[in-house]
């Protein structure tokens, strides 16, 4: 999910200390801030899931997140006057995928180390590139195809099917990647006139409604002060991550800025160790390195090919 913000709002998000930096450097820093915010949100959610049922946690965070997004839509006047039938169906399909990916991801997050889940999700750019070639007929060369193959081998090292550490929740993390891939492909088919914040709001409403129906069937736990703090922290960092992710892609060259999304893995390693006392096995770290390395190479190739296409004169 992404939030669409005006240029004036973006300027407020950028620190005065970054004014003298190049656009690429500012974009990279904002991207790292975005990934850090998302990972801190994951940390809060993992802590919450030890105190509250999953559906209750999803519902409470969803209510808070939806409320903040509604405020943003109001102040930014981003609500469109109407959506075409095609965009409506794509918006519904994307929201369904958002609901499914949230469910699979949070289920995996509760039962797996934070860094392991984060490492598996780093395969998302590879999955989107491959799916775009298969389903949207976007061109892909043998170099990127080879990198994707190596990257998926890295995912197998992280998941390690058939070993003692492999559980159904390892599959949940993989299913989350698949759902997010379909979600992103669906978003690519939507008209550019549909504000990103409206897409984000629809997804948040979908997740909240799904969690609300599920929460009816579970016994709710009382909210202690520490639990409420974790819930507030998860909401603030989630919305902050949304805003920063959009600001990052609007500052500097996308091909330069995008690879810095992998900084989330470093943050996940540190937070998993500091907060939960988790540290991945060496084979998991090797797999994560393969996924990140091939992902960065894929970004590099896409950037280089885009530049080459831009040099070709129109006829």
Evaluate whether residue 238 is within a structural domain. Answer: no
Evaluate whether residue 38 is within a structural domain. Answer: no
Evaluate whether residue 269 is within a structural domain. Answer: yes
Q: Say whether pLDDT at 157 is over 60.
A: yes
Evaluate whether residue 23 is within a structural domain. Answer: no
Segment 267-272 shows an average pLDDT of 93
Nearest to 41 by CA among 206, 191, 244: 244
Percentage of residues in the chain having pLDDT higher than 70: 86
| 243 token code pair | 């805003």
pLDDT digits 0-9 by tens, 59-91: 999 999 999 888 888 887 777 767 788 888 988
Segment 164-174 shows an average pLDDT of 84
Evaluate whether residue 7 is within a structural domain. Answer: no
According to the model, what pLDDT value does residue 164 have? 66
Query: DSSP assignment, residue 163?
Result: S
| 111 token code pair | 């039962």
Segment 198-202 shows an average pLDDT of 85
CB 87 within 8 A of CB 241: no
Evaluate whether residue 247 is within a structural domain. Answer: no
pLDDT digits 0-9 by tens, 239-255: 888 778 767 766 666 66
> By residue range, what is the domain housing residue 179?
52-219+259-307
Name residues whose C-beta falls within 8 Å of residue 146's C-beta, 6 or more positions apart in sequence: none
According to the model, what pLDDT value does residue 110 have? 92
User: For 158-162, 185-189, 198-202, 271-275, which range has the lowest pLDDT when averaged over its residues?
Assistant: 158-162
| 165 token code pair | 């550490």
Give the CA diameter of the chain: 68
According to the model, what pLDDT value does residue 9 have? 47
Look at the block and give the residue holding tokens 């819930």: 231
According to the model, what pLDDT value does residue 10 have? 46
What SS3 state is found at 140?
coil
Nearest to 149 by CA among 177, 174, 129: 129
According to the model, what pLDDT value does residue 16 have? 45
Query: What is the number of domains present in the chain?
Result: 1
User: For 14-28, 101-115, 195-209, 211-225, which range has the lowest pLDDT when averaged over its residues?
Assistant: 14-28
190 membership: H or E segment, kind and range: none
Evaluate whether residue 4 is within a structural domain. Answer: no
Evaluate whether residue 41 is within a structural domain. Answer: no
According to the model, what pLDDT value does residue 27 have? 81
């Amino acid at each position: 999910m992404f939030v669409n913000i005006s240029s004036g709002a973006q300027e407020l998000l950028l620190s005065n200390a970054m004014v003298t930096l190049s656009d690429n450097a500012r974009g990279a820093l904002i991207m790292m801030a975005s990934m850090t915010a998302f990972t801190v949100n994951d940390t809060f959610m993992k802590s919450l899931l030890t105190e509250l049922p999953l559906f209750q946690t999803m519902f409470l965070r969803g209510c808070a997140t939806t409320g903040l997004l509604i405020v943003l839509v109001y102040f930014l006047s981003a609500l469109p006057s109407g959506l075409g039938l095609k965009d409506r169906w794509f918006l519904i399909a994307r929201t369904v995928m958002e609901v499914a990916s949230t469910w699979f991801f949070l289920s995996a997050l509760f039962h797996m180390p934070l860094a392991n889940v984060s490492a598996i999700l780093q395969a998302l750019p590879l999955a989107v590139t491959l799916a775009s070639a298969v389903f949207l007929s976007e061109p892909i060369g043998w170099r990127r195809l080879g990198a994707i193959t190596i990257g998926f081998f890295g995912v197998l090292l992280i998941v390690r099917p058939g070993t003692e550490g492999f559980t159904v929740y390892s599959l949940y993390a993989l299913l989350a990647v698949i759902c997010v891939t379909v979600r992103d492909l669906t978003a690519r088919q939507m008209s550019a006139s549909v504000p990103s914040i409206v897409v984000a709001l629809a997804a948040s409403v979908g997740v909240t409604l799904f969690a609300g129906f599920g929460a009816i069937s579970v016994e709710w736990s009382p909210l202690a002060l520490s639990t409420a703090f974790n819930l507030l922290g998860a909401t603030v960092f989630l919305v902050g991550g949304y805003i920063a992710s959009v600001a990052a892609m609007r500052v500097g060259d996308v091909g330069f800025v995008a690879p810095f999304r992998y900084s989330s893995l470093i943050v996940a390693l540190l937070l998993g160790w500091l907060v939960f006392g988790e540290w991945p096995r060496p084979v998991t770290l090797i797999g994560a390195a393969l996924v990140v390395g091939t992902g960065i190479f894929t970004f590099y190739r896409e950037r280089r090919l885009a530049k080459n296409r831009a040099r070709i004169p129109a006829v």
